[in-house]
Homo-oligomer: A and B are copies of this chain.
């Protein structure tokens, strides 16, 4: 919590952006250093290896998840609506961390995969009392996953198939009609 050095955060931001925008192969230490405006050696002072860089991203995700679960529990529109709405918040720090960590997990990083699974567990635990049964919970979780997946595979200038604005409100209403306690 003792706020970390600025450069460290800038490096993490750059690495996250590269993972999201250009994929894991493009997110090299070299490219990350350039994007963050430091040299390779400078980066490696903060993160001694590529693995350490990945671990830093996972740690950031865990912090954001903790805050998100707290906010979800207290949301005035209820956890289900809050959960679905925030599953498609493009550019949101949590959403960016999730997409970046899911890219890292695809290379076989077990800690990254575990973090994603634990996040899902926390969400299900919180949402379970607000859904009629296990099937309804499955539905809510899968719609959220679908929103992330679409955020994750979108192309540069291409219009996204994810419902926005009024369409998102309608979707939330439909899911709540189908699943809410």
Contacts and interface: CB of A to CB of B under 8 A. Distances in A.
Chain A at the B interface: SS class: helix
5 contacts: A113-B155, A139-B171, A142-B142, A142-B150, A174-B178
B139 A143 contact: yes
Interface residues of A, number: 47
Contacts of A106: 23-24, 103, 152-153
Given A102-B153, A161-B120, A174-B136, A108 B22 contact: yes
Contact of A143 (B103, B117, B146): B146
A9 interface: no
Interface string A85-128: 00000000000000000110111101001101100100000000
